[in-house]
Amino acid sequence: MTRYDPEIGYDVPARVGDPVAAVMTPALVVDLDAFERNAARLRDFAAEKGVRLRPHAKTHKSADIALYQMAEGGACGICCQKLSEAEALVRAGVTDILISNQICGAARADRIARLAGQARIGVCVDDPAGVAELAEAVARHGTSLNVLVEVDVGCLRCGVAPGEPAVELARLVDAAQGLTFGGIQAYQGALQHIADPADRRAAAETAARLTRDTIDALAAAGFACETVGGAGTGSFRMDTDLGQVNELQCGSYIFMDADYDRIREEDGDRPGGMENALFVLSGIMSQPVPGRAVCDAGLKALSVDSGLPRIDADGLTYKGASDEHGVILDPEGKLSRGDQVWLVPGHCDPTCNLHDWYVGVRNGVVETLWPVTARGKLY
Amino acid sequence: MTRYDPEIGYDVPARVGDPVAAVMTPALVVDLDAFERNAARLRDFAAEKGVRLRPHAKTHKSADIALYQMAEGGACGICCQKLSEAEALVRAGVTDILISNQICGAARADRIARLAGQARIGVCVDDPAGVAELAEAVARHGTSLNVLVEVDVGCLRCGVAPGEPAVELARLVDAAQGLTFGGIQAYQGALQHIADPADRRAAAETAARLTRDTIDALAAAGFACETVGGAGTGSFRMDTDLGQVNELQCGSYIFMDADYDRIREEDGDRPGGMENALFVLSGIMSQPVPGRAVCDAGLKALSVDSGLPRIDADGLTYKGASDEHGVILDPEGKLSRGDQVWLVPGHCDPTCNLHDWYVGVRNGVVETLWPVTARGKLY
């Protein structure tokens, strides 16, 4: 009856073969059919358009999913956002990772240089000091790194300005033994969540123009960009049409979330035709008065930074989250204590990072359990 | 130079004796002096007023902190909010836990009944079916549970209505072998975050009146409430003045957070005179243009459900969080790549639940590391 095994010392939320009704809630559940269809959609899109695909593992932080994306999903490798995330995935067997972010400080440079002895590792830079730290570390370890210069094409976060500043940094990378200039990182993250397709296209066009200017400036200085990385779930079709990015870094596509419900392609379809594959399965723990039910998934089971979860059933509204409770409005009295509800989280990435396990479900039965390999890997 | 030990297989963000500058960011840092002063403040308050103190471990999820609160902080035991949280803390040596929440379903009932063989365990009920599940399980395991009837005194979440409904449930508990009616749970969680002290007092008065009515109804039926549990960090002084609650369940007091900056006692002081003891220490990873710095703590390092973090330094504003980045406005150009900033998270409880370790700091040096024992324990 219990899944806690004192001999092992840890919990699992379900066992393979369990019916969904036996899953201990709240649990992070993957609809495996929808998940596989999403993976195939982006694989087929990239193949048709002739661009590489390097999905972002910051969404799922799972070695099993990363390896699936590489084996079945058309991925040439994966992206991570943090060094310790990449370390965890390399330890679990992932062989090709771009850290699509800056690595700051001598301690991290030492770690990434060592990691580069175990897998093919790329990283971004946007500062001469970062280049110097990486160069010193790879020289000490006798390893090499593929380095992309991050360019700010409208995200207003990290990255050098487009054009000449990128060329200056490319020269520093190129001059450093053990560092290979691999191209540019041109991700416009703010794009993904612009609801209006016309506004989103305008931002994508700006990003593409700034990317083109930078590619041209680098070419004039003798630097070819093998990789132009960028694009996310909300913009990969537009970005591919615009023709600058050659390696897609979509992350959320594999799961989707309630915030992406707002985002539509120009034809009214969901981004890339993707469907929701991720749920927080939650149990009704109290039904104190008619019209109100209380579920066991609150702020520690789902992230509300991009809004409250949507309930995958008519007539029910998730009204408010406290640390360990969710209050559900149920005017028609559909829910009883002990029932389960399927919540579509507002934002998939930080929600996955709250959980230790994915419960993979097909036809109402638990088919697999995947650990959230890099959960909490923050450095 | 590195803290990742391939032989051990896990990371720690620092080592004891490190200077703060060597802590790997982002990290959850406890100012040990402030932490100890907060613990002493509530201990002394409870002793002076003659009420028991059972701090809420849902805030910190740490066995080390729970044991400190019991050894040095005047606590008679601790509260948990989830069964698996309590299991984790019992395994780590905590001997007296009230799960201040409902436990739903036969699987959980089985687990709590077994746990009751290892420590003194209490739990709340608000439904006859829950009482029956617990009774069946303790009979099977030959253990006993202390049971509080949860009463809704204004929280509009779980709990039976005040008065007669509580008496009915107390009768069921009392009739069940292995279950001891221990009193009522009368926590008004919505109270804690009412900014205006007069409005907060009005809500506390309502809660106290409904609590009194229930105590009286129970007494008329022959049931004494050994425990009347409730009160939180924002209201414990008022609740104690009002004289109904006899066991304080404050959690946040030990750390405080940026949202509690808004909350003042009637004398203008911070709640109970508590001070901030919890930080997310974050590193500046990029400083792409004058006036903007980017730090390495985003949505996966701090919870923004109650607002963005405050920076513990003048002239700096944490402007926006993405998954792994925080954008800081720095109009005076104070920050450089590689600097550290001390962020006061908007909401302490869900922020602690994101991290694997507390880094305890005193006089600029790492003095201790505490695991977040029950991190992610969601059932």
Label each residue of chain B as H, E or C: CCCCECCCCECCCCCCCCEHHHCCCCEEEEEHHHHHHHHHHHHHHHHHHCCEECCECCCCCCHHHHHHHHHCCCCCCEEECCHHHHHHHHHCCCCEEEEEEECCCHHHHHHHHHHCCCCEEEEEECCHHHHHHHHHHHHHHCCCEEEEEEECCCCCCCCECCCHHHHHHHHHHHHCCCEEEEEEECCCHHHHHCCCHHHHHHHHHHHHHHHHHHHHHHHHCCCCCCEEEECCCCCHHHHHHHCCCCEECCCHHHCCCCHHHHCCCCCCCCHHHCCCCEEEEEEEEEEEECCEEEECCCCCCCCCCCCCCEECCCCCEEEEECCCCEEEECCCCCCCCCCEEEEECCCHHHHHCCCCEEEEEECCEEEEEEECCCCCCCC
A contact test, residue of B295, B323, B347, B353 with most A CBs within 10 A: B323
Looking at residue A143, its pLDDT comes to 98
Choose among B176, B158, B26: nearest CA to B99.
B158
Are A205 and A242 a contacting pair, CB within 8 Å?
A: yes
Contact: A299, B350; criterion CB under 8 Å: yes
Residue B233 C-alpha, separation from nearest chain A C-alpha, in angstroms: 15
Phi, psi torsion values for A181, nearest 5 degrees: -70, 115
CB-based burial label for B84 (10 Å; 0-12, 13-18, 19+): buried
CA-based R_g, chain A, Å: 22
Mean pLDDT throughout A19-31?
97
Asked whether the predicted pLDDT for residue A145 surpasses 80, the reply is yes
Mean pLDDT throughout B122-147?
98
B297: nearest CA partner in chain A? A378
In this prediction, residue A91 has a pLDDT band, given cuts at 50, 70 and 90, of: very high
Mean pLDDT throughout B163-191?
96
Strand-pairing partners, residue B311, are: B343
Looking at residue A13, its pLDDT comes to 93
Q: Which chain A residues have a beta carbon less than 8 Å from that of B337?
A: 104, 127, 129-130
Looking at residue B191, its pLDDT comes to 87
What's the pLDDT tens digit per position in B255-287? 999 999 989 998 899 999 999 999 999 999 999
Looking at residue B11, its pLDDT comes to 80
DSSP letters spanning A90-144: HHTT--EEEEEEE--SHHHHHHHHHHTTTSEEEEEE-SHHHHHHHHHHHHHHT--
Asked whether the predicted pLDDT for residue B173 surpasses 70, the reply is yes
Cβ neighbours around A6 below 10 Å, total? 11
Percent of chain B with pLDDT over 90: 93
Q: Which chain A residues have a beta carbon less than 8 Å from that of B339?
A: none
Q: What angle do CA A74, A75, A80 make, to 5 degrees?
A: 155
Looking at residue B192, its pLDDT comes to 86
pTM (2 d.p.): 0.97
Mean residue pLDDT of chain B comes to: 95
CB-based burial label for A181 (10 Å; 0-12, 13-18, 19+): buried
Contact: A82, B158; criterion CB under 8 Å: no
Asked whether the predicted pLDDT for residue B378 surpasses 70, the reply is yes
Place of tokens 């640390």: A323
Looking at residue A117, its pLDDT comes to 97
Looking at residue B10, its pLDDT comes to 59
Contact: B157, A13; criterion CB under 8 Å: no
In this prediction, residue A110 has a pLDDT band, given cuts at 50, 70 and 90, of: very high
Q: Which chain B residues have a beta carbon less than 8 Å from that of A156?
A: 292, 327
Asked whether the predicted pLDDT for residue B133 surpasses 60, the reply is yes
What SS3 class is residue A191?
helix
Choose among B134, B149, B113: nearest CA to B223.
B149
B contact test, residue of A323, A325, A351, A377 with most B CBs within 10 A: A323
Asked whether the predicted pLDDT for residue B4 surpasses 70, the reply is no
B contact test, residue of A133, A286, A336 with most B CBs within 10 A: A286
In this prediction, residue B2 has a pLDDT band, given cuts at 50, 70 and 90, of: very low
Mean residue pLDDT of chain A comes to: 95
Contact: A25, B379; criterion CB under 8 Å: yes
Looking at residue A6, its pLDDT comes to 46
B105: nearest CA partner in chain A? A338
Looking at residue A253, its pLDDT comes to 98
Asked whether the predicted pLDDT for residue B135 surpasses 90, the reply is yes
Are B102 and B74 a contacting pair, CB within 8 Å?
A: no
In this prediction, residue A2 has a pLDDT band, given cuts at 50, 70 and 90, of: very low
Asked whether the predicted pLDDT for residue B344 surpasses 50, the reply is yes
Looking at residue A10, its pLDDT comes to 59
Looking at residue A1, its pLDDT comes to 34
Percent of chain A with pLDDT over 70: 97
Say which of A126, A299, A305 has its CB closest to residue B288: A126
A300: nearest CA partner in chain B? B350
- Could you give the ipTM of this predicted complex? 0.96
Contact: A378, B26; criterion CB under 8 Å: yes
What's the pLDDT tens digit per position in B201-234? 999 999 999 999 999 999 999 999 999 999 999 9
In this prediction, residue A191 has a pLDDT band, given cuts at 50, 70 and 90, of: confident
Looking at residue A331, its pLDDT comes to 97
Which one is predicted more confidently, A339 or A190? A339
